[in-house]
Structure 1
């Protein structure tokens, strides 16, 4: 029970530091240092800090992180979003909701090569919002579907969030990537299903279909999907068939993104330099947070808090479903104040022993965690996708948050589905690597 009290004290300290506006990484380092003071044996906190940060940052696996970030930055500055919209639009006129499905499909396609929720949301919104508004589509559903579908950037591999989780939880990045495919399609199906139902219930709020295009014209417009399709096929074929590691696939993704930008004529020096600097800033922020989190994790390992917490949860005799329900509520609450990466690095070292004790696979839990992080992306007040759409639409935060609420509950439904049917997550990793 003493360890539970220590963990409560450290949690209160962390919350106090964050409430005072201290940088997340610095707050993690401070909490880690304080935690080391509860360790007996005179272990020097400074030496542990130095060796932990170096050991966790000097990682070949972690090299995939800046590469995926850079790939998303490059594509963010090309005409990829406009080409995807033009390629998908002619084929969706027959569906209830019509062009609003472009939000879901385009976010899924771009998310599969960007790895970033905010980049996916912003890129697709740039072209989709003006087009949908011009054609008379309901603005609230357009905003909500963009907020929700933008989260696909971190669920459909490759994903920066998945890389961070895999490193923090010490599991295979490739297995987590493979585990994300079917849940990604599940979330896309839920989003499109909601749009269909809403459109059928509100027929007067959906504009009439565009004039049908000849088959040859449809194919000509679909040619705009070729560059991104080739990049997706190339990266995932290398990953799935073992031609390259996750880090090497990230490098090939960067090379492919540069090739697309050059082919489109948008690979100018200013655009290239902007992508480098954008990737550098984001990577430095993530790495600093990871450094603080690794020190706090090591500190907690020395104190024995993770084991004590796992034993305490086990003593409650919660059923596996009850544990997942409790963790879902916890992450929803955390998502109102923290961004997704911070949620992962703050909690992974504590929660992993719990879920192992309850009999859950860490790879499955990675996808569960990505889904609840997606909830954080559309949860006020710290919802990155809400910030993006608020800026791009000129609407106030309450309007955007209310528009995204149905899609938030669809993510809750997705968590329930993968919990009841875990094979949706595990079938591809098991096929590739065995049981």
Structure 2
């Protein structure tokens, strides 16, 4: 197909997606329909067989087995009031910081992202716990939603990360080096997010709940006693994963078992709460899996059209300087993120893009972190930002509202990309320390 034809196909698919979403069609169904539309431009493809294969391979993925378990863990913490106790325990220690409990979104997503390795699981679990508590305490809904959408992406930046593993395999680089390279950029993202919350809080003091009364150290410790069981659970799951004693899926299973044990010990686990947690996790997991199926099918359809490869080849034809190349690739991947999920973006473009990166003098480990950050941007940019879909379902707000709330955090990710581009040693210092050769 010619470049003009490919642009026309991309335009038709994007307009169709926007029209379906505006018409209130379910997100997963909208993505499936757009995949069918893209397939119409590629004759000779058995659409039914492709859809069946994609649905089975996506749903049967072992890495996704952790998703419903982590979602169920969040439901248990939410249904048994353990989440409320966790917020009560954190409140006395965050009272001095502008923004107070909104920082729990960033801290919670950072901690849980290191366990789950999934943006969807991180966003879903922390949102289930945090959104009702923040709303009940009178915190601004837009900043609560935006910080959750942005911080939820830490699930794919903080190791271990499925996205990092896929890139390492595609680029033939060390998985351990990619993992090590992700720690400092993820810390920068968390600092920028918390910094934004602090600045916003100082500029908008009237949009925050009244400051809590001052408490003595003894009173703070007494309130935080409720925090100990959940903290121990998170630390135990995290340590088990880091020490290599269990995989992410096994950690999720231990997390569910630990949540049930703590809820039973605290006498908040009733039969109704248990059943509600099971049904809530089932509904949310089905919603996420339908979106994943739709996104996967649309990604395959776009791959058949050849649009991602054509776009990468078009960028290569300009023979740009290194920094100009990074700027153009950033725009290109953000555009691709409007139609493809993160893994598909990596798989479909690395063959063409990696030689360009090596020729420009960039390290492939560094480029892996750059690419993960771009995928994070795609997670919070409409119309196919996956974190936006998750939060739209969980908050009951429309997609435009959630997208507007996440916009400042999208630009903070852009700032992070600029920082690691100007100072690449931020990314490379830990891999070089571990592998000096």
Q: Taking structure 1 as the reference length, what is the TM-score of the superposition?
A: 0.73
CA distance in 1, matches of 2:56, 2:125: 27
1:237-296 per-position Cα deviation (integer Å, ceiling 9, x unaligned): 34434444xxx3223223322321342134623422442453244224414532553465
CA distance in 2, matches of 1:106, 1:382: 16
| Structure 2 unmatched runs, 5+ | 21-28
- Does structure 1 conserve the Cα–Cα contact (< 8 Å) formed by 2:113 and 2:152? yes
1:224 Cα deviation after fit: 3.6
Structure 1 residues 51, 388: closer, same or farther in 2, change over 3 A? closer
SS, match of residue 96 in structure 1: coil
CA distance in 2, matches of 1:109, 1:287: 28
Aligned residue in 2 for 1:237? 239
Structure 1 residues 3, 159: closer, same or farther in 2, change over 3 A? farther
User: Are 1:391 and 2:396 counterparts?
Assistant: yes
Aligned counterpart for 1:352 among listed residues 350, 371, 381: 350
Alignment of 1:278-357 (within 5 A): 278-294=284-300, 296-297=302-303, 299=304, 309-330=311-332, 342-344=340-342, 347-356=345-354, 357=356
Aligned residue in 1 for 2:107? 105
CA distance in 1, matches of 2:392, 2:143: 13
User: Are 1:27 and 2:13 counterparts?
Assistant: no
Aligned residue in 2 for 1:117? 123
CA distance in 2, matches of 1:69, 1:146: 22
CA distance in 2, matches of 1:51, 1:390: 30
Aligned residue in 2 for 1:187? 189
CA distance in 2, matches of 1:285, 1:268: 26
SS, match of residue 97 in structure 2: coil
1:126 Cα deviation after fit: 0.6
Aligned residue in 2 for 1:413? 415
1:160 Cα deviation after fit: 12
1:197 Cα deviation after fit: 3.1
User: Are 1:57 and 2:57 counterparts?
Assistant: yes
SS, match of residue 211 in structure 1: coil
- Does structure 2 conserve the Cα–Cα contact (< 8 Å) formed by 1:69 and 1:283? no
May I ask how many residue pairs the two structures share in their alignment?
405
CA distance in 2, matches of 1:397, 1:288: 17
1:95 Cα deviation after fit: 2.4
Structure 1 residues 399, 273: closer, same or farther in 2, change over 3 A? closer
Q: How much is the aligned-residue C-alpha RMSD, in angstroms?
A: 4.5
Structure 1 residues 167, 415: closer, same or farther in 2, change over 3 A? same
CA distance in 2, matches of 1:81, 1:343: 31
Q: Taking structure 2 as the reference length, what is the TM-score of the superposition?
A: 0.72
CA distance in 1, matches of 2:57, 2:317: 36
CA distance in 2, matches of 1:45, 1:408: 37
Aligned residue in 2 for 1:368? 373
- Does structure 1 conserve the Cα–Cα contact (< 8 Å) formed by 2:36 and 2:47? no
- Does structure 2 conserve the Cα–Cα contact (< 8 Å) formed by 1:53 and 1:295? no
1:113 Cα deviation after fit: 5.0
CA distance in 2, matches of 1:381, 1:242: 29
| Structure 1 unmatched runs, 5+ | 38-43
SS, match of residue 376 in structure 1: coil
1:50-102 per-position Cα deviation (integer Å, ceiling 9, x unaligned): 69937992898x31123224312331342343233122211122323444434
SS, match of residue 380 in structure 2: helix
Structure 1 residues 127, 249: closer, same or farther in 2, change over 3 A? same
Aligned residue in 1 for 2:26? none
Aligned residue in 2 for 1:149? 148
Structure 1 residues 430, 176: closer, same or farther in 2, change over 3 A? same
CA distance in 1, matches of 2:357, 2:56: 27
